[in-house]
Amino acid sequence: MNIKKIIYRTIENIFKSIKTKKKYNYKIHQNNKFSDYQINGIIEIIKKEKLHPKYIFKKIKNKFKKKKIFKKIKITPPGFINIFIKKKKIGKIIDKYVKIKNFGIKEKKKNIVIDYSSPNVAKEMHIGHLRSTILGDSIGNILEFLGHKVIRINHLGDWGTQFGMIIAWIKKYKKKKINNINTIENIYKKAQKKFLINTKFANLSRKYVVQLQKKKKKIIKIWKKIIKLTIKKNEKIYKILNIKLTKKNIIGESFYQKFLPSIVEDLVKKKIAYIKNKTVLVKTKNKNKQYILIIKKKDGGFLYSTTEIASIKYRYKKFKTNKIIYLVDTRQKLYLYQIFSIVKKAKYISKKTKLIHYDFGTILNKFGKPFKTREGKNIKLKKIIKKTILATKKIISFKKGNIYNEKKINKISYEIAISAIKYYDLSKNRIKNYIFDIKKMLSLKDNTGPYMQYAYTRIISVLKKNNTNIKESIKKNKLKISNQIEFNICKEITNLEEIIKLSSQGNPHIICHYLYKITSLFSKFYETNRIKNIKNKKIKNSKLKLISIIAKIIKICLSLLGIKVLNKM
Ligand code: ARG
């Protein structure tokens, strides 16, 4: 259903037919002012390749004339190519594709691992985990939609010296009741402080780390309990946020411990790593600068980095993966770069396997500073979710207080608040920081989750008033485009494939941008087309179909963002 693709192919074939196999850089823009599509950059290619302009343009003209979908092609000097398409034809194309599963959009299937969320044990999830969790889940959805096998992995931070401290504290102060994560988090905080100032306690902690490594039964039991409590809490958050991660997706850092000695040995043998003062190090280069990464400490301990290397080797083998995607914040950019180059050098993955780090910016408070509590701690996710739900509830109670009962208001507030948080995050350019602004998130005018929900419910209600629904009107009716706005909507609909494919490369905000465009077009359409009053049945049904397709697209796109639609607001 991708008209730009038809245009690209036509142009490509022309270049192929004259001589060259090169991939040229020219752009096709959808245009609503002077034509339907515009091709830019052809004249530059003609000049560069010393081709004959008249000859090429004539060829282009002829080729486009032959295709039934194009009505007219106008080339104005020095080389503006304007393409006009047939209104009737575009309706037919859409009629055909909306019947096919996912509008016929798919890619060649690949196995793709995606590493996201990955919080640490003994702590509740905080604001720093929000972006990785939401972005990762959405990118996973998009890739799945395109037909890939997506393996979602939660690289849980369930190993490390912190357990020594926590266990030392529990043992020393005979803490028996560790039934919730808050108790553990408090113990962790206190133990961390004591560890720094008290050598005796520090030694005790180290002793427990060793015991944990040696799999001492009693110690393992406490460790497992701490993990279990953390996971339970995280799962609650995932459920609230409608995130697809469950226990099954966890392959934590602890899992790889058994592989670490042989990995370090192998890297030394391959001369990728070297030993200095009993420490094992790896040198990597980036833009002529040299960086050093430790993979084994003097005392024999392994690190986060060693685990990382092992995890890639494991994932490649186990999942026959073509791609591993990381959603980890920008601060770990250099670190992951180092890891990727080590793994490639050691040939732990095939040459074709891609390792991709999608980094992202920070969430800021209203003063533009990193979001922290007064004590400088990270704000818990639970807390900001609650705050957003409360703010939503205030608005909804005010508007709907005498129509809906308390229970209904609670339910809607919750759904809208979650969609607002997720949509706001996903609508921002991934790389940039953004301010967590609840008021803006909840706006019913801008590119927000609630606005999309509202547009969707509006369509549902129009369909209902006309005694139909999305499924029925798509199935039964035919598109018969009767004005310019409908035509523009149709052109936008045919962009869906390109949008979804582009967004799958780590950019869900492209979907949000698209949604905003198409819902804005719908609003315009709605203002000028009173469907109920239309006498001509075919035209009326076509309009109902058109808005049904818009609703279907909203629903699909929101589901790719991990947001459920409401039927009523
Ligand atoms: N647990 C880490 C942290 O909270 C994030 C892990 C990200 N994933 C990875 N494979 N390194 O900083």
CB count within 10 Å of CB 391 equals: 17
By percentage, how much of the chain surpasses pLDDT 90?
81
pLDDT at site 306: 97
Sign, CA torsion 179/184/185/189: positive
Q: What share of the chain has pLDDT > 70, as a percent?
A: 99
Check if 252 has its Cβ closer than 6 Å to any atom of ligand 1. Answer: no
Ligand 1 touching residue 359 (CB < 6 A): no
Residue 286 predicted with pLDDT over 90 = no
Residue 498 Cβ < 6 Å to ligand 1: no
Comparing 129-143, 167-181, 253-267, 437-451, which segment has the lowest mean pLDDT? 167-181
Which residue(s) pair with 111 in the sheet?
Answer: 149
Question: Ligand 1: which of 231, 251, 332 to mutate, most ligand atoms within 8 Å of CB?
Answer: 332
- The per-residue pLDDT of the chain, averaged, comes to 94
- Residues in Cβ contact with 86 at an 8 Å cutoff, skipping those fewer than 6 apart: 68, 69, 70, 71
User: Which tokens is 190 given?
Assistant: 């206190």
Ligand 1 pocket check for 113: Cβ under 6 Å: no
pLDDT score at 20:
67
Please report, to the nearest 10 degrees, the dihedral formed by the alpha carbons of residues 177, 181, 187, 189 taken in order.
Answer: -170
Burial class of 225 by CB neighbour count within 10 A (0 to 12, 13 to 18, 19+): middle
321, 328, 337: residue to mutate for ligand 1 pocket, most atoms within 8 A of CB = 328
Q: How far is the CA of 118 from the centre of ligand 1 (A)?
A: 5
Which of 118, 251, 343 most suits a substitution to test ligand 1, by most atoms within 8 Å of the C-beta?
118
Q: Residues 312-340: pLDDT tens digits?
A: 999 999 999 999 999 999 999 999 999 99
Split at pLDDT 50, 70, 90, the class of 1 is confident
Radius of gyration over every alpha carbon of the chain, rounded to an integer in angstroms: 28
Q: Residue 371's pLDDT is what?
A: 86
Between CA 150 and CA 321 the distance in angstroms is 9
Which of 116, 121, 130, 155 maximizes ligand 1 atoms within 8 Å of its Cβ, making it the mutation to test the pocket? 155
Q: What does the pLDDT look like over 193-246, one tens digit per residue?
A: 999 999 999 999 999 998 998 999 999 999 999 999 999 999 999 999 999 999
Whole-number Å distance between alpha carbons of 344 and 359? 20
| Ligand 1 atom nearest to CA at 120 | 1
- Residues 91-98 have a mean pLDDT of 95
Q: Tell me the pLDDT band of 375, cut-offs 50, 70 and 90.
A: confident
With a 6 Å cutoff on the Cβ, whether 328 touches ligand 1 is yes
**Contact between 124 and 226 (Cβ < 8 Å):** no
The residues facing 326 across adjacent strands are 115, 357
Residue whose token pair is 């050691």: 346
* Gap from CA of 136 to ligand 1 centroid (Å): 13
- Ligand 1 centroid distance, CA of 122 (Å): 14
Task: Kindly state the DSSP code that residue 19 receives in the 8-state scheme.
Answer: T
- What does the angle CA 561 – CA 567 – CA 569 come to, to the nearest 5 degrees? 95
The rounded Å distance from CA 132 to ligand 1 centre is: 10
SS (H, E, C) 417-479: HHHHHHHHHHHCCCCCCEECCHHHHCCCCCCCHHHHHHHHHHHHHHHHHCCCCHHHHHHHCCC
- pLDDT for the residue 21: 64
Please check the confidence at residue 346 and state whether its pLDDT lies above 80. Answer: yes
**Tens digits of per-residue pLDDT, 129-159?**
999 999 999 999 999 999 999 999 999 999 9
Q: Is 155 touching ligand 1 by the criterion CB < 6 Å?
A: yes
- Cβ(126) – ligand 1 distance below 6 Å: no
CB 136 less than 6 A from any atom of ligand 1: no
CA distance 364 to 435: 5
Ligand 1 centroid to 342 CA: how many Å? 18
Which residue has the least CA distance to atom 5 on ligand 1?
Answer: 118
Is the pLDDT assigned to residue 370 strictly greater than 90?
no
Position 332: which residue type? Q
Least confident of 24-38, 210-224, 386-400: 24-38
How close is the Cα of 544 to the center of ligand 1, in Å?
48
Q: What is the pLDDT of residue 223?
A: 95
Mean pLDDT (whole number) for 419-433: 97
pLDDT at position 99, please? 93
Whether residue 393 is predicted with pLDDT greater than 90 in this model: the reply is yes
**Would you place residue 299 in the very low, low, confident or very high pLDDT band (cuts 50, 70, 90)?**
confident
Query: For position 79, what pLDDT does the model report?
Result: 83
Taking only the tens place, the pLDDT of each residue in 523-557 is: 999 998 889 889 999 999 999 999 999 999 999 99
Q: Look at 349 and 171; give whichever has higher pLDDT.
A: 349
| pLDDT score, position 152 | 98
- Asked if the model's pLDDT at residue 563 lies above 90, the reply is yes
Between 133-137, 182-186, 503-507, the lowest mean confidence (pLDDT) is in 182-186
Cis peptide before 78 (omega within 30 of 0): yes
